Amino acid sequence: MNKILLLEDLPEIRAWLKALALQVFPQAHIFEAARVHDALALITAERFEVALVDLGLPDGSGVDVVAALREAQPEAQSVVVTIHDDDDHLFPALQAGAFGYLLKEQPREHFVEQLQRISQGEPPLSPAIARRVIAYFAKQNKPQERPQNLPHVSLTDRENEVLLWVAKGFTLPEIGVQLNLSRHTIADYVKQIYRKLNVSSRAEAALEAQRLGLFRR
């Protein structure tokens, strides 16, 4: 683990997060930014493996940084670290390509554990998120509501099944037991769902950009 981008405007919290990151990844080199602008500049200059991104920043939203990082460095894993736990913040972040979503006030040990889990490729998925993902893809599958020229991204039956279990409140290990699959296989399904969510939303964004005449190429 080499380079980590840390975007956080509050100095105390940034310091705390830095200490925490160093605890999980002792060898890492941490690049700190307090604004969206600085973070975007860093993305063009450095290649990151992990990015810890706050959402509410003085000059914009961390979602833009997540999207930019996804575009410029697809292998980098963005983890949103925020105080907002509502769907209005969470879902756009996931669509932009965030791989994890951590709440700031969690005790240090929880934080460490979740960060480790994410770095090992196991993204978080709550029932609320699962419900939104199901609704999102259900809408995508209705041709009359889907904008034209949009690549059709849909979930497989298994992915859908996993989402349905999650939406009912079952944890990933429980679902693994129910479907007679390993915990890692379930995690892979979830990762795949995240990827599709991101692909779909990016295609949508591109189409919207084209519609608005923002495409420069």
Partner 1 sequence: MHARRRLSAALSWLGPIALVGLLVWASLAARSAEPEPNVIELNSALTTGGAAEHFPADQASKLIALPDEWSNSRPREDGPVWYRLSFDAPVGSEPLLAAYIERVCSNAEVHLNGVIIYSGGRMTEPVTRNCYYPQLVTLPGGLLHAEGNTLDIKLQGYTLQKVSSRQRSGELSQVRIGPLAVLAEEHASKMFWSISLLQIITTATTMLGAFVLFLGWMNRQEAHLTYFGLLTLAWNALTARTWLQQMPFDNGTTELLVCVGFSMLAALVVQFLLSYGGLRSRVIEAILLTQCLLVPMTLVLAGPQRLFTVSNAWYLLMVLEVMVVTVLYLHAEWRAEGENFWPMAVMLSLLGVLILTERAMQYDWFPAPHLHLLNLSMPILLSVVGARQLKAFGLALQAAENARNSLESRVAEATAEMERNYVQMAELRVEQVTEKERKRIAGDLHDDLGAKLLTIVHTSESERISTLAREALEEMRLSVRGLTGKPLPVADALADWRAETVSRLGQAGIEVDWRSPTEDVSQQLSARAFVQTTRILREAVSNVIKHSGASHCKVRCTLGQQDFVLVVQDNGNGIPMELDGKLDRGHGMASMKHRAKQMQGQCLVESGPGYGTVIRLTLPLGTSLTL
Work out how close the CB of 170 gets to partner 1 at its nearest, in angstroms, rounded to a whole number. 7
Q: Which positions ≥6 away from 55 have C-beta within 8 Å?
A: 61, 62, 63, 80, 82, 84, 89, 93
Work out how close the CB of 84 gets to partner 1 at its nearest, in angstroms, rounded to a whole number. 6
CB 2 within 8 A of CB 29: yes
- Fill in the per-residue mask, 135 to 174: x = in contact with partner 1 (CB under 8 A), - = not in contact: -------------------------------xxxxxx-xx
Amino acid making up residue 194: Y
Tokens for 181? Answer: 């699959």
Work out how close the CB of 171 gets to partner 1 at its nearest, in angstroms, rounded to a whole number. 5
12 binds partner 1 (CB under 8 A): yes
Options 90-98, 99-107, 155-163, 188-196: segment touching partner 1 (CB under 8 A)? 99-107
Work out how close the CB of 168 gets to partner 1 at its nearest, in angstroms, rounded to a whole number. 5
105 binds partner 1 (CB under 8 A): yes
Options 11-19, 71-79, 149-157, 185-193: segment touching partner 1 (CB under 8 A)? 11-19
CB 14 within 8 A of CB 34: yes
Interface of this chain with partner 1, residues 38 to 67, rule: CB under 8 A: 56
Describe the crossing of helices 11-24 and 108-119 by its angle, rounded to 10 degrees: 60
Work out how close the CB of 27 gets to partner 1 at its nearest, in angstroms, rounded to a whole number. 23
Which residues of this protein are in contact with partner 1, per CB under 8 A?
10, 12-13, 16, 56, 83-86, 88, 104-105, 107, 126-128, 131, 166-171, 173-174
